[in-house]
Amino acid sequence: MLQHDPIQFLPQEVANIDTSRILVLRQSVGDERCREIIEEVVYHLSERLTKLETALHEWDGAEMRALASRLASLSEQVGLADFARVSRDLCQCIDAEDPIATGAVAARLLRLGDESILSVMLYADQAAL
């Protein structure tokens, strides 16, 4: 009888950036201000993701909903359309009072959030060169 190693599934999300959003932002406010705006948005996304984790542990539906909604609008500003969509999906799960879907979508959002923040920072740095 053959023995097989267990298959491991490592959850990973790939962040997609709508670079046209950043280009429009750069054209309207200039390179320096564009970088400042991206840095501000990245800071607020990171801060709200941390607060979302706390709200999830405390299962504070109102706070989770408010944070997910704010994450959606912030991420759209810098071209993180997938991140915004998953944030809105989380809002829908919270509104439906579905704890299993809420937990699953929140976990996906947290994974995608880390990757999205890194991707937008790297893109902004590369685009500035």
Q: What are the tens digits of pLDDT across the range 1-39?
A: 556 566 555 566 778 899 899 889 889 999 899 989 999
What CATH number is given to the structural domain containing 110? 1.20.120
Q: Model confidence over 39-65: pLDDT tens digits?
A: 999 999 999 999 999 999 999 999 999
Structural domain containing residue 49: 31-127
Q: What is the DSSP letter of 6?
A: P
Residue 15 lies in a domain: no
Q: Structural domain tally of the chain?
A: 1
pTM: 0.84
CA distance 76 to 82: 9
Per-residue pLDDT of 74-94, as tens digits, reads 999 999 999 999 999 999 999
CB 86, CB 109: distance < 8 Å: yes
Ramachandran area for residue 72 (φ above 0: left; ψ -120 to 50: alpha; else beta): alpha
